[in-house]
Amino acid sequence: MDSKPLVDAGAVVKGFGWLVAVTIFVTCAALPEWVPQKVDVGGLSFQFYELLLLAAATWALVQPATVSVVKYVAPFMMLCVVTAAWSLTIAGANFGKMGSDVRWPFYTALSMYVAAKVVGTAHQALCMRAALVTVWFSAIMVVVASATDMQLVGRSEAASLAVYGGDIATRFLTPATFLAVVIVAVCVACIISGNSPGFRVYTWLVPSAVLMVLSFSRNHLLGLATAIVFALLAFRSARSVVATVRAGVVVVAVAGALQMGAGNVFAALPAARYVATQAHGYVERVVNGLTPESRAIDPSVIYRRKENALLTAAISESPVIGHGFGYAYKAPSGPAGSFFRESAPYYAHNFYLWFLLKAGWLGMVLFAWMAFVPLVRVLFKPVSTVQVAVASAAAGLLAISVFAPIPNDSPGAALLGAVLGVVVALSGVRAAAKPVNATSTGQSELSTNRASAPIAAM
């Protein structure tokens, strides 16, 4: 597989690749809770990866790129700056609350810009190795944490909604979780393409699947389903449909086995009790949790519905430009210092309603230009199998954002931006893949002649 960079390495400052690689690990690794994560700068608190991202974005200004993403990110970044300014000066928003609102959407655009400066350059192999190291390290840490009392950065809580034989699985939502979802979506899309992806799929899929399963999240299944549908629409291939059906049969068979008796399925394996506990928790929370009966009594679902109703009412009061960053759409509750008093009035799980509340339809149009237009371009004019796979993962993240606000989340915002930046940059890899002869159904497929050049080092 030819992975020769498309941009002359002589014009590249070598340290940029290392800076981005370190940023990837610091941003997404599932580290022990005792590892410091923040630093105070001028009275403001920043996570270490934020400072690294800002440094990488500054360095990226002098880096070459296969394709410029400026036309996508510049309008959105300008919107964030202007909205933040009038939120402070006209709406009278609290500076801290305004900053908490605007920083993550802004980082989405910033990381999109940085990622586009990596694809097709001498830095891409190093950055991909950093991502692979990150998911393997994180998978090992999460497995160890789930089997011991070790605490990780992020959130951990009981996963199952019921107790089986006294065992309760623990779910881990770490900085690596959504990175794992992205990698699983990319790998699955490559598998169902029917083409050779040009990289070792299972080297990436195994640790990412472990992280995804041990997060016990229904949202991830929504994201994966969206990614598969997107990939099928982009590939437009009978071979992809057949591959999807085959994979679906396997998944249904495994899910059926788990639901009928996961403990017995794994009884003969070493550490059988541990595996059975995770399987029981996954079935109870994720599989059974998707039923209408479970959703009707799920406290988190009920809370989101009430939250959406309040958002919708507030949006109608200022639909064009929104209320500004730092606007509280509901009254605080709970004790001082708690999430419900300090953050909940400004936060929402549905990112799209949240952003309409803060920036109105004007802001939503610019977000759609940055996040959705590149994906639509892939649907109509795909360049390679890998580009379709990465775009499928981005579509999955955007679907999840209806229930988990990835563009308004740490580190989800930076991850989403990076994935979008890769999608746009891959459109410049013109030699990556070209339509081959029509199939028997009269539809074209994508070849992978140099399709995986940007990730051949996987």
Q: How many whole angstroms separate alpha carbon 193 and alpha carbon 447?
A: 10
DSSP assignment string, 358-372 = HHHHHHHHHHHHHHT
Paired tokens of 445:
């497929």
Give the Å distances, CA to CA, from 10 to 13, 64, 279, 378: 8, 11, 51, 31
pTM score, whole prediction: 0.87
Cβ(89)–Cβ(384) below 8 Å: no
- In 10 A of CB 400, how many CB atoms? 25
Q: Identity (one letter) of the amino acid at 151?
A: Q
Cβ(276)–Cβ(266) below 8 Å: yes
Write the CB contacts of 267 (distance below 8 Å, at least 6 apart in sequence): 276
Entry field: residues in the chain: 458
From first to last of its 458 residues, the chain has per-residue pLDDT tens of: 344 454 544 444 578 999 999 999 999 999 999 999 988 876 678 899 999 999 999 999 999 888 999 999 999 999 999 999 999 999 888 998 999 999 999 999 999 999 999 998 889 999 999 999 999 999 999 999 988 888 999 887 666 554 444 456 778 889 999 999 999 999 999 988 877 666 788 899 999 999 998 888 889 999 999 999 999 999 988 888 888 888 778 777 766 665 565 555 555 555 666 666 666 667 677 766 667 777 777 777 888 899 999 999 999 999 999 999 999 999 888 788 788 888 889 999 999 999 999 999 999 999 999 999 999 999 999 988 999 999 999 999 999 999 999 999 999 999 999 999 999 999 876 534 443 333 434 344 454 433 444 443 34
